A and B are shown apart, each in its own frame.
Chain A
Amino acid sequence: MTAPIIVTLTVNGEPVSQAVEPRLTLVDFLREAIGLKGTHVGCEHGVCGACTLRLDGVTVRGCLTLAVQCEGATVETIEGMTESGAMKDLQDEFVERNALQCGYCTPGMLMSAAELLERNAMPSREEIREQLSGNYCRCTGYQAIVDAIETTARKRGALGR
């Protein structure tokens, strides 16, 4: 009655074609079907932001997207963004500033931060906090995260990026 459907998409630059149950969310697909464990499951109802990833160039909640909706789509996860080096400076700054503790929110947090810096090269601290308002972190006081993003923006600005 709910037969698997073949979905063909690009994940981190690699073509993927797999039969999936319609009910499988994108984050479960990535984690369980392709073994990309870097995107985390936190609440499965779209609030915590742990599963934030990129779909066709913009951030989405992996738990609020079905894998079958991603036919022909381009998905980028923390693994892909790391390998491409697209946000290496941001990741380095997170480590340098201790902008993460347990790390569970971090991939999603980085995805949100990276998108902000694409849309707004020099955000204020308020704008950074506003962008992060959909990403829950229980460990830090958010301040180190804001510091890391702000510093990355400044360094990029100095490099003329």
Chain B
Amino acid sequence: MNDRSAMSVLDKPNSYIGRSVPRPNAKRLAQGRATYVDDIVLPRMVHLAFCRSPYAHAEILSIDSTAALALPGVLRVVTMADLQDYCTPWVGVLDHLKGIKSAPQWPLANGKAFFQGEPIVAVAATSRAIAEDAVDLIEVDYKELPPVTDMETALDPDTPVIHPELGDNLCFERSIDSGDVDAAFAEAAVVVEETFHFNRHTGVTLEPRSIICDYNPADETLTLHMSVQCPHMSKNLYAKHLGLDEDKVRVICKDVGGSFGLKIHTYSDEMAAGALTVMLGRPVKFIADRLESFTTDIHARDHRVTAKMAFTQDGEITAVEMDDITGIGPYSVYPRTSGIEMNQVANLTAGPYKHLNYRVRARVVFQNKGVMCQYRGVGHPIAVAVGEALIDKGAAALGMDPAEVRRRSFIPDDAYPYTSPSGAIYERQSHRQSLDKLVAVMDYEALRREQRVLRERGIYRGIGFASLIEVTNPSPAFYGVGGARIASQDGCTIRLDPTGGITCATGVTEQGQGTETIIAQIAASAVGVAPGQVRVITGDTDVVPYGGGTWASRGAGIGGEAALQAGKELRRNILEVAGAILQSAPESLDIRDGEIVDAKSGNERMPLAELGRLVYFRGDTLPEGLQPELVATKHYVSRSYPFAFTNAAHACLLEVDVETGLVKLLKYWVVEDCGTVINPLLVAEQTRGGVVQGIGAALYEECLYSPEGQMINGSMADYLLPMAAEMPEIFVDHVTTPTETSELGAKGVGEAGTAGAPGAVMNAINDALGPLDARLSHMPFTPDKILRALGKT
């Protein structure tokens, strides 16, 4: 635990922590002066396109690339046979997920294709258009194999086994049986049960997956220009599988056009680009097009959950039992595995509540569909929706208000730290305060009155709540203990430049959420300069400290703490030098707004630029024996708890047109507790963006597959995303419970919006339709499904 002494920079009057500072780097983005991977042009660069499997499951009998190779502008056409010596396969398993198994995955299909869109042949050409022309000329002879698409029957004995060497189609299974579940259900006053379907959906980052692999055979260096969230992880994986010296691999990640968890995984086509640059000795660019993105980016969710919940007569939850099955495509995705989402569902369902009796059976199965893996919210949207829907159902059965049932069942404020029946340890949460604040800001009572009045007029409005916990700031317990070389620690190197400016290099990365801005705010506060004087460098493994990057809502909590500690160290070093120069005790000095001042009077003693000048250019004038160190590096890893759990309370107000089945979102509220809020402006829109993504899952987004395993809506015309016209105004407020595990006290905030919205929207729809005896639990809630639930079609 950290000592929150009087020295904490959080409390200093010139602290920038907690202020709404606009992002300096946003200016460049607003002027079209960003650098995304596709903007980069390298000499002699070639472009990749892939011949991909049109079938979900097929044996590749023969490949004829003669015509493709003859096309002017085509440099190389390769199959897996050509890449055998350039790349080793990978298997997506982790040691701590007991029993998880998967099959080797290759950059190109190795004899068989296991999902529609799996790359089979790679074409390198002088332009993408020519590469596509060549793909059109490739002839592949397939023997179709029976596709396994339905996850519910994937484990049936008569279902073909996708990877015969694995023995069955089970990737991973987990059970929890905590307390006395049977007794609790037997004694319950009310038991509610429901089956939920969580639609398979995908990230749809506006910038698709993008990579340029640039191998220099002369010095055996590989430079990867990648749109990625975790540069150091990529450095390790490309070195490992391409057989290169890891120290000679550099990952450069400039602007990233959205990621949401999609850009932390190993993709065959990207690894093929790596193999090809080694083969050709030229830069190889691969930019996934939108159709490729839909079938080959990781998908998420695709769970069927059957769950029940027990209540006392007073409305307290006493037990939860759940069966979860999820289909993940034909491979567990490397290196994080596709077992984590299910694991989170098992860990987190009904997480805010104090029930002690909890039983889960959860299974992860293989199927011949696109691969499924971690995407924003990872399991949370499912866990939250299941728990919160059952609470609402229970409240209705008990004749109680849904907010009241939540209040009665929350883990009591005095019970923290608290160990959940799934084994998760919560440091401290503010469920009751958050819900009370939410109910106040939305004027819940007035909305209920209005709802009753409107119902008389045939207008059906619904109010839905979702209280949630979110896993942030992961320790090595997440991946490291399982053997993956994914750093959970992160570092920051901070330097005073001769100008008095501060340069800060951090291992966490920027994808627009404002990482660089908050690091600047923290560093500025810690050192004592204005944020505008801090330049932050991210996304270059040659430059930044070794770190995990940005995922699992870790940027602010882990990277921020490292920046804070590095800034404090630099400040100490500066004051030591200043004290020697000014012949004053360092403790009597302070740094404020870029000036060394007298701590008591605030009188200016020396600008930092003057100190920089003396140190860097006039060392001869410094006192004897003084060796200034104007660079400091600090690292941080969360150790006292495996995770920092945040919490939030969401509410959604909507109206269902019971004639058309259309849902109109009227308003949305979030009260969020992410600990110390570093920049409210950024947190607010980050939260809203998360909510909108969750609304997408609830109302629009779904990867639709035919029984044969063909994705039938893989374009932006057919895969519906949340757009401005339909989205509500979203109110965001905070309760602040800083984590004591760090001095900064920040927990993550990146995923809570996405975690809560699907459940809140589902509850609001069911609240609206309650008087009509209609109920829905199969996302997305399309007009078709709503009308069917209403018995209109």
Q: Do chains A and B touch in the complex (CB under 8 A)?
A: yes
Interface residues of chain A, those whose CB is within 8 Å of chain B, are 21, 23, 31, 37-45, 47-48, 50, 77-79, 82, 91, 94-107, 110, 125, 128-130, 132-146
Q: Are A144 and B685 in contact (CB under 8 A)?
A: yes
- Smallest beta-carbon distance A135→chain B, Å: 7
Q: Are A104 and B32 in contact (CB under 8 A)?
A: no
Q: A95-B23, A104-B207 are in contact. Are A142 and B727 (CB under 8 A)?
A: yes
In whole angstroms, what is the CA distance A137 to B723 when docked? 7
Q: Are A141 and B26 in contact (CB under 8 A)?
A: no
Judged by a CB distance under 8 angstroms, whether B441 is at the interface is no
Q: Are A102 and B258 in contact (CB under 8 A)?
A: yes
From A44, A45, A101, A141, give the contact of B727 (CB < 8 A).
A141
Judged by a CB distance under 8 angstroms, whether B7 is at the interface is no
From A37, A50, A125, give the contact of B39 (CB < 8 A).
A37
Contact with A along B204-217 (1 / 0, CB 8 A): 11111000000000
Determine the chain A residues whose CB is within 8 A of the CB of B259 once the complex forms. 102
Which residue from chain B places its CB closest to the CB of A78 in the assembled complex?
B32
What are 9 A-B contacts with C-beta separation under 8 Å?
A: A38-B31, A45-B716, A98-B26, A100-B30, A101-B511, A101-B513, A129-B727, A136-B721, A146-B724
Q: Are B38 and A102 in contact (CB under 8 A)?
A: no
- Contacts A135-B723, A144-B685 given; 9 further ones with Cβ under 8 A? A37-B35, A42-B207, A45-B717, A78-B32, A102-B207, A104-B206, A105-B206, A138-B721, A140-B692
In whole angstroms, what is the CA distance A31 to B128 when docked? 13
Judged by a CB distance under 8 angstroms, whether B729 is at the interface is yes
Judged by a CB distance under 8 angstroms, whether B27 is at the interface is yes
- Smallest beta-carbon distance A114→chain B, Å: 12
Judged by a CB distance under 8 angstroms, whether B725 is at the interface is yes
From B511, B691, B716, give the contact of A102 (CB < 8 A).
B511
Q: Are B729 and A143 in contact (CB under 8 A)?
A: yes
Judged by a CB distance under 8 angstroms, whether B179 is at the interface is no
Q: For chain B residues 28-49, which have a beta carbon within 8 Å of chain A?
A: 28-36, 38-39
**A contact face: mostly helix, strand, loop, or mixed:** loop
Q: A103-B30, A130-B725 are in contact. Are A142 and B692 (CB under 8 A)?
A: yes
Judged by a CB distance under 8 angstroms, whether B693 is at the interface is yes
Determine the chain A residues whose CB is within 8 A of the CB of B687 once the complex forms. 141
In whole angstroms, what is the CA distance A125 to B256 when docked? 29
Q: Are B685 and A91 in contact (CB under 8 A)?
A: no
Q: A38-B31, A102-B511, A146-B724 are in contact. Are A48 and B685 (CB under 8 A)?
A: no
Determine the chain B residues whose CB is within 8 A of the CB of A37 once the complex forms. 32, 35-36, 39
Q: A102-B256, A104-B257 are in contact. Are A43 and B716 (CB under 8 A)?
A: yes
**B contact face: mostly helix, strand, loop, or mixed:** loop
Of listed B36, B259, B717, B723, residue having the most chain A CB within 10 A: B723
Which residue from chain A places its CB closest to the CB of B729 in the assembled complex?
A143
Judged by a CB distance under 8 angstroms, whether B255 is at the interface is yes
In whole angstroms, what is the CA distance A96 to B33 when docked? 17
Of listed B30, B685, B692, B721, residue having the most chain A CB within 10 A: B30
Which residue from chain A places its CB closest to the CB of B731 in the assembled complex?
A143
Judged by a CB distance under 8 angstroms, whether B241 is at the interface is no
Which residue from chain B places its CB closest to the CB of A37 in the assembled complex?
B39
- Interface size on B, as a range, is 35 or more
- Smallest beta-carbon distance B518→chain A, Å: 12
Of listed B31, B38, B39, B260, residue having the most chain A CB within 10 A: B31
Which residue from chain A places its CB closest to the CB of B27 in the assembled complex?
A95
In whole angstroms, what is the CA distance A98 to B514 when docked? 9
Determine the chain A residues whose CB is within 8 A of the CB of B691 once the complex forms. 141
In whole angstroms, what is the CA distance A140 to B30 when docked? 14
Q: Are A98 and B36 in contact (CB under 8 A)?
A: no
From A42, A100, A103, A134, give the contact of B290 (CB < 8 A).
A42
Q: For chain B residues 719-761, which have a beta carbon within 8 Å of chain A?
A: 721, 723-725, 727, 729-730, 753
Q: Are A136 and B723 in contact (CB under 8 A)?
A: yes
Q: Are A43 and B257 in contact (CB under 8 A)?
A: no
Judged by a CB distance under 8 angstroms, whether B451 is at the interface is no
- Smallest beta-carbon distance A31→chain B, Å: 8
Which residue from chain A places its CB closest to the CB of B29 in the assembled complex?
A103
Judged by a CB distance under 8 angstroms, whether B688 is at the interface is yes
Q: Are B129 and A140 in contact (CB under 8 A)?
A: no
Which residue from chain A places its CB closest to the CB of B290 in the assembled complex?
A43
Determine the chain B residues whose CB is within 8 A of the CB of A143 once the complex forms. 685, 688, 727, 729-730
From B208, B686, B721, give the contact of A101 (CB < 8 A).
B686
- Smallest beta-carbon distance B688→chain A, Å: 3
Q: For chain B residues 608-641, which have a beta carbon within 8 Å of chain A?
A: none
Q: Are B26 and A103 in contact (CB under 8 A)?
A: yes
Q: A98-B681, A102-B207 are in contact. Are A40 and B257 (CB under 8 A)?
A: yes
Judged by a CB distance under 8 angstroms, whether B715 is at the interface is yes
Determine the chain B residues whose CB is within 8 A of the CB of A98 once the complex forms. 22-23, 26, 514, 681-682, 684-685
Determine the chain A residues whose CB is within 8 A of the CB of B207 once the complex forms. 40, 42, 102, 104
From A50, A78, A100, A130, give the contact of B26 (CB < 8 A).
A100
Of listed B257, B687, B691, residue having the most chain A CB within 10 A: B257
- Smallest beta-carbon distance A144→chain B, Å: 5
Q: Are B31 and A82 in contact (CB under 8 A)?
A: yes
In whole angstroms, what is the CA distance A106 to B22 when docked? 16
Q: A132-B725, A136-B721, A141-B727 are in contact. Are A100 and B29 (CB under 8 A)?
A: yes
Judged by a CB distance under 8 angstroms, whether B85 is at the interface is no
